[in-house]
Amino acid sequence: MRSTLHLNRSAPDLVALQAFKQRVEVIWESIAAFPHGIQDSPDLKIELEARLADFEKDPEAGYSWNQVKR
């Protein structure tokens, strides 16, 4: 999904765009600080594997993403 920021090039819009750009740069720099990613804990890996196994046993159980978003 693609999102577009609509601007009419007014001064407040340009200021808002600059502030948005700065926030994105800060976020990107914080991601780049971990070049090898952040490792999941062993407990989290066990939990995710159990959830995947449950899903593979019965893919129709639970809720779809659209149901959860409501």
The whole-number pLDDT of residue 2 equals 59
- State pLDDT tens for residues 13-65: 888 899 999 999 999 999 888 878 778 899 999 999 999 999 999 988 888 88
In whole angstroms, what is the distance from residue 49 CA to residue 21 CA? 37
Residue 69 has pLDDT above 90, yes or no: no
User: Do residues 7 and 17 touch, judged by C-beta distance below 8 A?
Assistant: yes
What does 19-68 look like in DSSP terms, one character per residue? HHHHHHHHHHHHHHT-TT--PPPHHHHHHHHHHHHHHHH-TTSS--HHHH
pTM of the model: 0.43
